[in-house]
Amino acid sequence: MGGLDKAFLPLAGRPLLAHVLDRLEPQVDRVLISANGDAARFAGFGCPVVADALPQGPLSGVLAALTAAAGLGATHIVSTACDTPFLPGDLVPQLLLASEASAEGLALAATADGDQPATALWPVAIAPALAAFLAIGEAKVTRFTATHDAARAHFPDARAFLNLNTPEDLAAAEALLRGAA
């Protein structure tokens, strides 16, 4: 997206992050935004912002959120990307249900297109294992989830996890919202 902050790209006249929050907030007790840089840019969203202790990619953000959530007394967090504006309305219940099949309580969203590793339910208790994983220089989400018995919550509509990574993706999302696709 030309180096622009995707969270603030407009979709139907609103920032992408606003669409994600609309989908996620009814399903969770509270939302934390995991982001590096100036946290003040998110002030209009009314959510606390947590930064990575040592930026190593998405798992660093998950670890920061797990650490913050533990301090709030939470048992789990749900992660998703800021550029997935069509998340399912039953995302969290389905992830929680799937997590029962995992010894560690970790669950990924999945579609017929495959795993959606950015969208997952993470038990707070997994934070030490994740910290150790990152400490040895590992950072690949799928490598961590594969070694920690991640269950899958299967969703029928792959478009629910559409990532908007290009101007063409953004145009396609606009078309979806208008009912043209």
Domains of the chain in sequence order: 7-176 (3.90.550.10)
Give the pLDDT band (50/70/90) at residue 180: low
Q: What is the pTM of this model?
A: 0.93
Of 95, 105, 115, 100, the closest CA to residue 161 belongs to: 115
Of 106, 112, 110, the closest CA to residue 154 belongs to: 110
Give the pLDDT band (50/70/90) at residue 2: low
At 141, the amino acid letter reads V
Length of the chain: 181
At 132, the amino acid letter reads A
| pLDDT of 64 above 90 | yes
Segments in the chain forming alpha helices (H): 16-24, 58-71, 91-99, 127-135, 141-146, 167-178
Bridge partner list, 15: 10
Give the pLDDT band (50/70/90) at residue 54: confident
Q: What are phi and psi of 11, to 5 degrees?
A: -135, 120
**CA atoms of 54 and 57, how far apart (whole Å):** 9
pLDDT, tens digit, for every residue of 83-109?
999 999 999 999 999 999 999 999 999
**Contact partners, residue 66, CB within 8 Å, separation at least 6:** 77, 122, 124, 126, 127, 130
pLDDT of residue 175: 86
